[in-house]
Amino acid sequence: MNFKNVFRWHYPVLLLLALMTLRATAADTLLVLGDSLSAGYRMSATAAWPALLNDKWQKTPAIINGSISGDTATQGLARLPALLKQHQPRWVLIELGGNDGLRGFPPQNIEQDLSKIITQVKAANAQPLLMQIRLPANYGRRYTESFSGMYPRLAKEFSVPLVPFFMEQVYLKPEWMQQDGIHPNPDAQPFIAGLMAKELAPLVKHE
């Protein structure tokens, strides 16, 4: 038997099987693209809710936390191509816009960036999951309503799930907040992980 011919004959099949295995691995990845609310501001990354949820789900799917404190939607958009290429996620949870709003950026500009993020995620054959973000009431009714209104509008336009803002329940418990009144502390992270497990369970494949 000519083993060289056998290998040459089976090589394309072996290559296809290898590619299918890689795709199957990538298909079980949830990428969190967020800011300090998901990055774990002033705490270890292992204490932040994405890491706790990853442990809770036993990495099925695996959760990659691509969040960076201080990121705006523009900065998240700039980082997205590299993250998509590296992790090849099946789902991308978009938790961005809060820093833009806190800085008073025009809502239409924020909406444009979020729109581009959703478009890029879809182009990478991944499923976008958009988180509703809300601002403190002291930013004025007109601005806060304009800001919060863009999320359901984008969800409808692109036919993507709109995930509730976990901070709305965290704000109700002062003992879960850091001194800045904006960020959740480590004590809040298990609650957030549990809440996100409940909200994300119908949207992602996990066992």
Catalytic residue numbers? 36, 180, 183
Q: Kindly list the strands in the beta sheet with 162-163, ordered across the sheet, starting from the edge strand earlier in the chain.
A: 62-65, 29-34, 91-95, 127-131, 162-163
Dump strand ranges (E) for the chain.
29-34, 62-65, 91-95, 127-131, 162-163
Element (H, E) at 50: helix 49-56
Q: Say how far apart CA 11 and CA 48 lie, in whole Å.
A: 44
The rounded distance, in Å, linking the Cα atoms of 74 and 88 is 21
Please check whether residue 55 is in contact with residue 189, taking contact to mean a CB–CB distance below 8 angstroms: no
Half-sphere exposure of 40 (CA within 13 A, CB side): 18
